[in-house]
Amino acid sequence: MVESEDSPTQPLSTYPSSQSPLGDDVPLASTTEAPLVPFPFLSVDPADAPECWLSNAELIFHYTNVTCHSILSGHAMPTYQVIIPQEGLSQPYLMRMIMALSSFHLAYLNKDKRPHYLALANKQQSLAVRGLRGTLGQAVTRENCHALWVSSIFLAISKFAFSPNCEHHQDGCCSALSNLVDIFSMINGMMAIMRSSIHLIQIGPLKAIFSKRQGFRYAREDLQELLQRLSDLDGVLKSMNLDLDPSVQLAVTSALERLISCVTDIINPPDSGSCSMDIKILFIWPSEVSQGFFDLIRARHPLAVVILAHYCCLIRWSASAYWFCRGWGRPLADSVTSILEDSDLAHWAEWSVKVMREDEERTSNEYWYPDASTALADRLSGMNWVI
């Protein structure tokens, strides 16, 4: 039941402080009220010295003038450009997340100053996660649920923007597949927390994000081939006696069935609806599969890796539209190839590996569609996902 406007604030959801879904070792923020500081929208944490204010102003300026336009949701641009920063004024962790995303975008655009902006991004993201975890450790309310929802989106996008870059790792220890699973696990955990408040988010200041829109769509021929290969894999698995542990069998078959369902909904949208494709399509499947499936990926289970490899095609096809999806294709292909090198299932990933290795400049099969999908709108706007 949605509480009335006059009722006292009640927590919609709580999350034990020792069980954060963010997968970050940053300590929880102190609940002690911070002293007042000048220009709180530029300096929202004692960690900022006065000389940092100008840098923060640069990041906010870049977000409101450039980064917000890179999300490709033209109908909701006022929401991304104005309303979300307004939410950040009352929820400092969101303002930090905005500055982190802006920093990652500047690092992408300015190769010569990449180390500088990556350092800024890491600082802002660490402070944002600290505040975010502190809020999650208390309660999700009608006042903070909007900022938490946006923060989870921006955190996922920021991690997409940073993770494929291996410059911060030692020789060869970067695994794009492991980084991707960490992002998915975070999305999955945030979904569980936000489920109780998604109805408030849909009718609140962010409602334009959930309304009918034009958005990026994948090429139909690409999706049809992906669906056919997933269906073939499903048929083979059902006909084979793999002698899998029941829990493994459930995690794998469920993940495959949900991926088939997701791709089917993209290919065959109903005649009318309230939501077309945009970046959130990348987060639907990760929000619906089990943590057990992610554990199988971490354990390098060949069958789970084959299934994930097919999903990775969506990331590769998104690279021409979204800057934060660039750079993932080849590292993911290398990870999959390495894991499946001695597996009898390696041939089931050959096509997806080929797709991931394609030149990211290819755009002839990626275009825009004005139509919408009710089936996906039900998933995106329903209570079963957060990102």
pLDDT tens, residue by residue, 53-99: 788 999 999 999 999 998 866 678 899 999 999 999 999 999 999 99
Over residues 120-130, mean pLDDT = 94
Q: Show me where the domains of the chain are located.
A: 50-162, 215-381
Q: Taking a C-beta distance cutoff of 8 angstroms, is the pair 265, 380 a contact?
A: no
Give residue 269's pLDDT band: very low, low, confident or very high (50, 70, 90). low
For 368: left if phi > 0, alpha if psi spans -120 to 50, otherwise beta; the answer is beta
Inform me whether the pLDDT recorded for 180 exceeds 70: yes
Look up the pTM and report it.
Answer: 0.78
Instruction: Name the amino acid, one letter, at 205.
Output: P
What whole-number distance in Å separates Cα of residue 356 and Cα of residue 353?
5
372 or 358, which is more confident: 358
**107: buried, middle or exposed (CB in 10 Å: 19+, 13-18, 0-12)?**
buried
Over residues 133-160, mean pLDDT = 91
Give residue 46's pLDDT band: very low, low, confident or very high (50, 70, 90). low
Over residues 242-265, mean pLDDT = 90
Over residues 254-280, mean pLDDT = 71
Q: What is the mean pLDDT of the chain?
A: 78
Secondary element (H or E) of residue 115? helix 114-136
- Give me the pLDDT at residue 386, please: 35
**276: buried, middle or exposed (CB in 10 Å: 19+, 13-18, 0-12)?**
buried
- Give me the pLDDT at residue 162, please: 86
- Give me the pLDDT at residue 216, please: 64
Angle between helices 53-65 and 92-109 (to 10 degrees): 80
Over residues 35-44, mean pLDDT = 46
pLDDT tens, residue by residue, 368-383: 333 323 333 344 334 3
> Which residues are CB-neighbours of 222 under 8 A, at least 6 positions away?
313, 317, 365
> Which residues are CB-neighbours of 104 under 8 A, at least 6 positions away?
117, 118, 121, 158, 161, 162, 324
DSSP letter (8 states) at residue 140: B
Inform me whether the pLDDT recorded for 367 exceeds 70: no
